[in-house]
Structure 1
Amino acid sequence: MKYPDFDELTIKEIKDYTKDLETDDSLIELANILSEDERKGVKRIAKKLKNKLAKKEAVIAKWVNMNSLQEKLESNGYQAVIGIDEAGRGPLAGPVVAAAVLLDSTKPIYGLDDSKKLSREKREKLLEEIKKKAKVGIGQASSKEIDKYNIREATFAAMKRAVKNLLPQLEEKPDLLLVDGNTVIPDLKIDQKAVIDGDAKINSIAAASIAAKVSRDQIIFEYAEEYPEYNFKSNKGYGTAEHIAALEEHGSSPIHRKSFGRVPK
């Protein structure tokens, strides 16, 4: 690649030149060239470029590592392996939401991880990419269903609905479901495998974790407009001190889980 004569450029001009460059193999060549410059400011730019490249390499390595189990399963004959996770088991209000995701291994999505480890901005950005490159099914169970059955059974219902909503998008029936946690979904005629901490170990489950979390947040933010006294936009239905105080003052709303101990009947 042909570069400008950096000796003729100011540090600011070099900084402007490098700020929007793609993080690819040519970046290390450029960083090495700039490292030879005697100006400390240029050396700092070179160091930042190397750090940027190292971060990308780490993200790629994470994708590869978190794809290893799925690739092993595929090599054993499984063709359509679905990742499943949920969001919202613990809150005092709102639905529990589940997602089922089929990734395309030829279309990597770098940065997937347990949704709890990611910022809201990062989750939302990743979900946009997930929807473009993968197939996603979302399911939910309402607070009334949680009260009627219990959170465990309602979570299974949400997961089943997520799978059901994914199926029409698939060319063939899934061979295997990888379910985050230590329990598989009952009464499903599809092979399953429970994976403890799967959202931090397997890309498809991590993608499902993100899809479920962002989808539930969107639902609870809508409820925040309808029930502003509980400040759902901040607590997302979880039992924060502020939320408990609001329950004591206003009582419960139609979306609160009356079967949960801290929620007034």
Structure 2
Amino acid sequence: MRQHLVAGNWKMNMTYQDGLALVSEITNMVADEVSGPQAPQVVICPPFPFLHSVGKLLPQGSRFYLGAQNCHQKEGGAFTGEISPKMLASVGCEYVILGHSERRQYFGEDDELLSQKLKAALAAGLTPIFCIGESLETREADETFDFLAKQLKDGLFHLSNEEFDKVVIAYEPIWAIGTGRTASSAQAQEVHAFIREQIARAYDAEAAQNTTILYGGSANAQNARELFAQPDVDGGLIGGASLKSRDFTEIIKSF
């Protein structure tokens, strides 16, 4: 059965000291909510320099997990400034975000590169949180479903059944990231259901039913409960709200 999951993507925010204080606050505030087998998994994705120290603060044996915001497609080599999946695993990472719209837009990451990153992350034992989503122009042109179907086909559906079983998908409408705009719960459900239908066509109904699909477009403490109540929305990839302990813990408690 698929998991409920909330992932906090800090992006390029926080100092080291502020980041450690934030994690301590979050873990103390939601210890009870993340202790049982039905509780959501919580993934904290800080900047690279904070990973090891943040991981040390996550309660052992809990449903808190450490995640990274990106990785390189190679295991090692002369790639100055890059971080390999093997390195991430060695400091305790279990998840990695791949294909975020900001990586696609600002760093030119395309489906071919992301396919390599996916394979490398899976080979290192990491669970990819693979992001897809349309721009405002695409949505207004009524091309959302065609666009998402192509992103899924080119970015994910080359994986084997066994590999695909280890992937989490995050739907992040680009027009709702950092803008304060949010898809309505009905819009989110419609797209999540469509994604599940595409998975069933590419793999099978069981794979579609078992895949965790997150909503990642400006979810916050006020709208999380309604979003997460939708049958095909399994949680959220949270940006700005993950930087505020009270907001993030309220989102976790929304389940």
Identify whether the pair has TM-score above 0.5, normalized to the shorter chain.
no
Question: Smaller-chain TM-score range?
Answer: under 0.3
Length-normalised TM-score, structure 2: 0.28
Larger radius of gyration: 1
Give the structure with the higher percent helix.
Answer: 1
Length-normalised TM-score, structure 1: 0.27
